[in-house]
C-alpha cells in the first residue's frame, strides 16, 4: 500500500500541473522508481491510496502490468490521514503487508526488513535511517533488541536525542487496524505508533540511500544521486560504464561530460557544453555555445544560444531566449517562456505558462 494523498505543494511549480507521484525524475515518473524497488523485493500487488489528481496518476501508471505488478487505486472522498487511508483500504489488505510513504527515493533492503519483522514477531516494523536534521520527521529511539523505546513525530528542539528517523517504509500486521476508527482522519504517526511502543513496535535500522524528494533542491539531489549511481535504480543500466547515456536519434555536436543522460530527439548545437550532472529530456534543443550544468531540462524545451543553465530545473515545453541565465535553484514550470537576456536565479519559481519578455529580469 503506497500513500500518495499529499498535494506536493513544496515542489511547485513542477506539481502545479502534474501530481507529485508522476512528476518526471531523470527518465521516468517518480513513482516508477518506487514500483521497481518494490518489484525487486518480490512485491507484485500494489494499492495506491490517492487523493489529489488521482486520475492523472492512474493515466500515467496504468494497471502496472508494464512493471510486472498488479496496480490498484483507492480514492479517498476527503483526506483521511495516513492511518485513515489505510483503514479505508482494509478489506483489500492481507494479514501482513507493506505500507510506504509515496514520496521517498530509496533502496532500503525490504527483504531483510520483512525477515526481521518475522523473526521478532513484531506487529509493526519501521525502516529507520540516520539523518543530520531529524526535526521534520518521525524520530525514534531503539532498545538493544530492536524494539522502539520512543517515537515522536516532528519533535520540538531537544525533545528527543536521536538522529534515527522513520523512513516511511513499514511492515505491518493487519490487526493494528483494530486501533483505528473508520471514516475519520487519523495519523498513523501520531495516533498509532505511540500506542504500539512496548507492544510490538520495532525498528529496522539501516544505512541505505534515502531521500524525501519533496523540494526542488531535493529533486535535483535525487536526480544527481540516480545518475551517479548513489542509489540503486533501473537508470544505472542505461548509463553504462562511462556514465553517459546518449539515446539513439539524439544529436550532440557540442561536448557532453558525464554523468549525463540525453534522451532521444535531443539536439545540442556546436560549442555547447552539457554536464556534468545533467538530464535532457526527449526533443530538448540547446543552442550554440550554451552551458548546462547540474540541471534538469524536461522534454520539448528549447534553449537558445549563449545561455547559461546551472543548478536549475526547467519543466517540459519551455522556451529560454538567447543569452539568458537560469541558475541558483530556479525552477521553470511547464510551458514557461523566458525572453532573451534575462537572469532567473535565487530559487525563483516561475509558474506554468508565464511569459517573461526580453531583458525583463536582472539581479
Ligand atoms: N492517501 C493519503 N491520505 N495519503 C496521505 C495523506 C492522506 O490523508 N496524508 C499524507 N499522505 C501521504 C503523503 O502523500 C506522503 O506520501 C505520505 O503520506 C507521508 O505524508 P507527508 O505529508 O509527506 O509526511 P511527512 O513527510 O511530513 O512525514 C512522514 O514521512 C517521514 C519520512 O519522509 C512521516 O511518516 C514521518 O514519520 C516520516 O519520518
Ligand atoms: Mg514527506
217-356: CATH class: mainly beta
- Write down the mean pLDDT value for the chain: 95
Q: What is the pTM of this model?
A: 0.94
Ligand 1 site residues, Cβ closer than 6 angstroms: 3-6, 49, 51, 76, 79-82, 85, 101-104, 137-138, 153, 165-166, 168, 189, 212
Q: Identify which ligand lies nearest to the alpha carbon of 138.
A: 1
Q: Which of 183, 186, 3, 174 is nearest to 90 (CA)?
A: 174
Contacts of residue 287, defined as CB under 8 A and 6 or more positions apart, other chains included, come to 269, 272, 303, 304, 305, 306, 307, 322
Per-residue pLDDT at 53 exceeds 90: no
Q: In whole angstroms, what is the distance from residue 108 CA to residue 102 CA?
A: 14
Tens digit of each residue's pLDDT (9 = 90 or more) over 241-269: 999 999 999 999 999 999 999 999 999 99
For residues 193-219, give the mean pLDDT.
96
Q: Over the Cα atoms of the chain, what is R_g?
A: 22
Atom of ligand 1 nearest to the CA of 165: 39
Q: Identify which ligand lies nearest to the alpha carbon of 6.
A: 1
Tens digit of each residue's pLDDT (9 = 90 or more) over 265-315: 999 999 999 999 999 999 999 999 999 999 999 999 999 999 999 999 999
Q: How many angstroms does the Cα of residue 5 sit away from the middle of ligand 2?
A: 11
Domain ranges (residues) in the chain = 2-215, 217-356
Give the helix/strand (H/E) hosting 129. Answer: strand 124-130
8 A C-beta contact, residue 263 and residue 280: yes
Going by CA atoms, what residue is nearest to atom 26 of ligand 1? 137
| Helix spans in 108-240 (H) | 110-120, 193-196, 216-227, 235-239
Going by CA atoms, what residue is nearest to atom 37 of ligand 1? 138
DSSP 77-113: SS--HHHHHHHHTGGG--SEEEEEETTEEE---HHHH
Find how far residue 135's CA is from the centre of its chain. 20
Domain 2-215 belongs in CATH node 3.90.550.10: yes
Tens digit of each residue's pLDDT (9 = 90 or more) over 88-141: 999 999 999 999 999 999 999 999 999 999 999 999 999 999 999 999 999 999
Going by CA atoms, what residue is nearest to atom 11 of ligand 1? 5
Amino acid at each position: 500500500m503506497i500513500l500518495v494523498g499529499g498535494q506536493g505543494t513544496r515542489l511547485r511549480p513542477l506539481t502545479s500541473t502534474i501530481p507529485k507521484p508522476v512528476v518526471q525524475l531523470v527518465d521516468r515518473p517518480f513513482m516508477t522508481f518506487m514500483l521497481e524497488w518494490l518489484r525487486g523485493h518480490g512485491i507484485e500487488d500494489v494499492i495506491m491510496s490517492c487523493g489529489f489528481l488521482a486520475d492523472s496518476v492512474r493515466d500515467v501508471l496504468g494497471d502496472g502490468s508494464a512493471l510486472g505488478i498488479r496496480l490498484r487505486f483507492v480514492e479517498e472522498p476527503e483526506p483521511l490521514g495516513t492511518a485513515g487511508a489505510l483503514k479505508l483500504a482494509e478489506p483489500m489488505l492481507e494479514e501482513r503487508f507493506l505500507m510506504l510513504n509515496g514520496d521517498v527515493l530509496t533502496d532500503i533492503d525490504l527483504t531483510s526488513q520483512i525477515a526481521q519483522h518475522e523473526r521478532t514477531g513484531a506487529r509493526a516494523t519501521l525502516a529507520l535511517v540516520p539523518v543530520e536534521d531529524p526535526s521534520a520527521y518521525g524520530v525514534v529511539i531503539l532498545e538493544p533488541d530492536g524494539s522502539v523505546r520512543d517515537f515522536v513525530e516532528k519533535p520540538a528542539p531537544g525533545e528527543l536525542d536521536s538522529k534515527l528517523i522513520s523512513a516511511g517504509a513499514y511492515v505491518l500486521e493487519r490487526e493494528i487496524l483494530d486501533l483505528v476508527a473508520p471514516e475519520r482522519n487519523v495519523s498513523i504517526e501520531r495516533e498509532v505508533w505511540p500506542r504500539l511502543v512496548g507492544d510490538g513496535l520495532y525498528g529496522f535500522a539501516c544505512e541505505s540511500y534515502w531521500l524525501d524528494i519533496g523540494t526542488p533542491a531535493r529533486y535535483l539531489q535525487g536526480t544527481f544521486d540516480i545518475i551517479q549511481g548513489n542509489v540503486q535504480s533501473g537508470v544505472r543500466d542505461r548509463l553504462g560504464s562511462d556514465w553517459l547515456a546518449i539515446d539513439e536519434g539524439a544529436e550532440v555536436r557540442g561536448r557532453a561530460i558525464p554523468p549525463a543522460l540525453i534522451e532521444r530527439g535531443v539536439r545540442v548545437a556546436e560549442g555547447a557544453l552539457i554536464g556534468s550532472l545533467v538530464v535532457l529530456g526527449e526533443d530538448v534543443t540547446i543552442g550554440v555555445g550554451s552551458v548546462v550544468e547540474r540541471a534538469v531540462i524536461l522534454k520539448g524545451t528549447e534553449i537558445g544560444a549563449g545561455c547559461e543553465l546551472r543548478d536549475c530545473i526547467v519543466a517540459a515545453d519551455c522556451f529560454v531566449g538567447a543569452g539568458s541565465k537560469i541558475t541558483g535553484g530556479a525552477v521553470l514550470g511547464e510551458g514557461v517562456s523566458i525572453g532573451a537576456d534575462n537572469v532567473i536565479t535565487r530559487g525563483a519559481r516561475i509558474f506554468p505558462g508565464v511569459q517573461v519578455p526580453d531583458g525583463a529580469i536582472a539581479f
